[in-house]
Amino acid sequence: MKKKSIIISLLVAVVVIAAAFCFFSDREIMTEKVGFSSGYAKAAANSCNCETNWFPHEQTPAPKEGDGSPFDSSTTTNCMFHQWSWQKFLWLTKPLPSGNPLFLDSLNIVTPEMESVEPKLGLKLVLKSIKQAGPGGVLVSNPKYNNVTDTVYYSIHIDNLFKNKAIEMEKLIHSGKVPYSNLETFPVGALELKVSWINIDAIQKDKQADYFTTKAAVINKKGQYVQKTMALLGMHVVGVVKNHPEFIWATFEHKDMAPVYDLKNDSVTTANEMLFSEKGTTSGLKAITWDTITNKPSLANKAFILYEFGIPKNLKNDSYMATSQPEPANFDNITTINKCVAANLKDVFRNYFYNGSIWLDFDGVSPENQAKAIVTQNISSALPGSLARGSVNLANITMETYTQTFNDDIHTINNTNLVSCFTCHQSQNFDKTPGIGKSPLYLSHVFESYLVITKPKTTGKNANDTKAKRIEETQTLKLKQFDEFVKAKQ
């Protein structure tokens, strides 16, 4: 009897093991078929896919970012950052019962100086800013694309975590309780967005349904606000996760707005009219260079993307440049996750793609040393052995059209002068009135500008300075610092 019981127990164990084996085998087959990963760790070990719980879009959860998240570890994978970027974008754009995406209803809309933007014409989205970062380039649409020319506008959105930390630190710095040079950082979850928009009339009618659109109050040349239907073109998603106080800088664009430069043939060809590029072939960098004398692009209506996904390659042989980020693993991960999302997303945002992100390698580095590295190391370097990871020449065609490179000649671009978010978003403050200061907080130009316009008034000739003068001052200071960055990269 005892022997029979043992045999039965063994048979039950075999059945359980077999059933478990079949279950996990089926799980692997299912995962492979639908293109989903079954978790961050697994996706990193195999290919970089999206996850099942991101869909449907209206149910996309916010990505985990703090304790217990994939970033709560001494080791990370390249794929984790791409997955965070896509999930964050999907969460921000998921439709709410109001009909608006989450970011329009739930975040604070602010000026570049972090002043609240008040609604106009009963509309929350108010668009006034048209100048890009750096030399102040203005991007307009190709008139041959839809027989009209319109200007690209920009909005800035921040969450309360970012806003509250900025207000707190402004008070502490200006009161002298915290020095201008400090190791303060924004908290996990702090978020800043920059979004590009254009009048829907600039887009061909048969393609207008492919864009997310919303009503906005847009300032015209007479300084009056008028209601227009605006199409979303691109979005920078800049957020803090655990062990990454430098922010992850991710960017998204609508597809087919401009061609990618053909490095093998050293030229760029547009087969058909595109939103920002006329039909035809050209070469060189004039189309993505802003002429500060004429205040126009050196070659109009020929904009192009210098490097696909912001990943630099060499001319002629089209091989990857030797940088701090090994390739093609990073390029392949971006390609894979874009395909996965596109196959599973059903709404209008399936027409937008992830163009890459950049962050720093802080694996195994303590929070204190992370902050120290930001203020002491050259975080903009893309040379082998440096900290930058991801798309080391990251740019968005609608927001960094004319700052994809600081070189005049495409043949002189190499791994010593690549340009990314960290080229301009560095730890040194641009307002040197109180002295040169360094802080991880100054990676945000919004916070830096806020710090300038809230400075205590001084006596003497500057005693009657106005807010308008302070805002003008920030623009001058940012341009001066930009010029310094350009010279350093050339």
CA atoms of 232 and 197, how far apart (whole Å): 5
Q: How far apart are the first and last CA of the chain?
A: 87
Alpha-carbon separation of residue 322 from 383, 421, 488 (angstroms) = 7, 19, 20
Alpha-carbon separation of residue 347 from 55, 57, 58, 350 (angstroms) = 11, 8, 10, 6
Residue 101 is given by DSSP the state B
As a dihedral over the C-alpha atoms of residue 208, residue 209, residue 215, residue 218, rounded to 10 degrees, the angle is: -20
CA atoms of 365 and 355, how far apart (whole Å): 28
Report yes or no: 141 and 149 within 8 Å, Cβ to Cβ: yes
CA atoms of 403 and 386, how far apart (whole Å): 22
Give pLDDT, residue 277: 98
Give pLDDT, residue 355: 98
CA atoms of 397 and 381, how far apart (whole Å): 22
Give pLDDT, residue 462: 56
Omega into 328 within 30° of 0, i.e. cis? yes
Residue of 413, 378, 412, 411 whose CA lies nearest to 395: 413
Give pLDDT, residue 3: 42
Chain-centroid distance of CA 318 in Å reads 25
> Exposed/middle/buried for 123, CB within 10 Å: 0-12, 13-18, 19+?
middle
Give pLDDT, residue 368: 98
Averaged over successive runs of 10 residues, the pLDDT of the chain (490 residues) comes to: 42 38 32 41 65 97 98 98 98 95 98 97 97 95 96 98 98 95 98 98 97 98 96 98 98 97 96 97 97 96 98 93 95 98 97 98 98 98 98 98 96 96 94 86 97 80 72 87 83
Report yes or no: 76 and 363 within 8 Å, Cβ to Cβ: yes
3-state secondary structure of 379: coil
Give pLDDT, residue 442: 97
Give pLDDT, residue 460: 55
CA atoms of 237 and 248, how far apart (whole Å): 8
Report yes or no: 431 and 97 within 8 Å, Cβ to Cβ: no
Residues 6 or more apart whose Cβ sits within 8 Å of residue 29: none
318 torsion bin: left (phi>0), alpha (psi -120 to 50), beta (else): left
284 torsion bin: left (phi>0), alpha (psi -120 to 50), beta (else): left
